[in-house]
Structure 1
Amino acid sequence: MRKLELTLQQIEQISMLMETDQLGERFYYDVVTGEIDTKGPDDYEWEEEEEGEFAEDDAREVDEEDEELHPEERYLQIPERSSRDGYERMEDFAYSIGAGPVREALLRALEGRKGVFRRFKDKLVDYPEVQQQWYAYEEEKNREAVIEWLESEGFEVTVVAQKRR
């Protein structure tokens, strides 16, 4: 596995894009620079040089070891989380808070088809302490989703306070 350092801010940015309806737009994470862009591997002109190294026509500075990175490995398309995943996350949270009226109210909010996400969040407003637990739970699950995605792409992720230069 290749090592990758991410700040909490970078994880949050990636997570927000996973949560967003991307409306046909694609977002990419550049594992070399740590930047997020709508440009991916197909948007740059690459020339294969000797010994399988790639040179980017775009004028970005990269480390020597990263020059060998194939464009498909450098730019990772950020996946969009499905609404089904979001529903399951809310359901898991509701079951995690223990039996009682709050749990039942949250599970009732998840019944039906249309407006499930809005009903769930509206119901949380009635229970401020549980609402804060939900925000913490969701933040942790978002972080886990980003790390799991990058691990599935072959990276060992380390969360750091600040990127080293």
Structure 2
Amino acid sequence: MSESARAFAHLTISAQDLMAALEANPMQEYWLADLETGELIRRPEDEGFLDEDEDPEAYDDPDRYMTVEPMGSPECFQVMASYVESLPDGEAARSLDRSLRMRRPFRAFKDTLLDFPEERQKWFKFHDAVMLGWAQQWVEDNLPGAVLVFP
């Protein structure tokens, strides 16, 4: 095991929390990885939303906390587009493809999935598999040696 991998071998990271952090809206929240405990901490972007007893500088130690940079909108959009491309030709594929060209494609895609309950369940499985891959890659890139776990 390399020295860098040993540095984080004591950490277990929640896969669910990391997947949420990677999809976070940076205008609303950000996530930090605690390099001592492996805990992922969700923080509001606006300090005005902190509890009154919280210290806004409590997480400023870069030796202890690492910001989890979320995936960007283009990457998240590509996941939806890849899912649509994987579908057989049919009403669901056409409707979902059309939703991706609408003004608010993320909302339109989610709304369109409500019309296709079976595809909606398949979408969640597809989405979760992609997000898990991203989470695993993030751990390998940022915290080598840490273990991704499901609670």
**TM-score relative to the length of structure 1:** 0.67
Cα distance, 1:105–1:144 mapped onto 2, change above 3 Å: same
Does 2:76 match 1:89? no
* Number of residue pairs aligned between Structure 1 and Structure 2: 132
Structure 1 pair 15–107 and aligned structure 2 pair: CA distance change class (3 A): same
What code does the residue aligned with 2:12 have?
L
Higher-Rg structure is 1
1:123 aligned partner, one-letter code: T
Identify if the C-alpha distance between structure 1 residues 139 and 128 changes in structure 2 by more than 3 Å, giving closer, same or farther: same
What fraction of aligned residue pairs are identical, expressed as a percent? 23
User: Residues 28 and 76 of structure 1 are in contact (CA less than 8 Å); yes or no, is this contact kept in structure 2?
Assistant: yes
Residue 28 in structure 1 maps to residue 15 in structure 2: no
**Which among 21, 31, 40 is matched to residue 17 of structure 1?**
21
Equivalence map 1:112-127=2 (5 Å): 112=102, 114-127=103-116
Deviates more, 1:142-151 or 1:126-135: 142-151
Looking at structure 1, the residues matched to 66 and 18 of structure 2 have their Cα atoms a distance apart, in angstroms, of 11
Shift of 1:145: 1.1
Shift of the alpha carbon at 1:25? Answer: 5.2
Structure 2: give runs of 5+ residues left out of the alignment. Answer: 44-55
**2:59, 2:65 within 8 Å by CA — same for their partners in 1?**
no
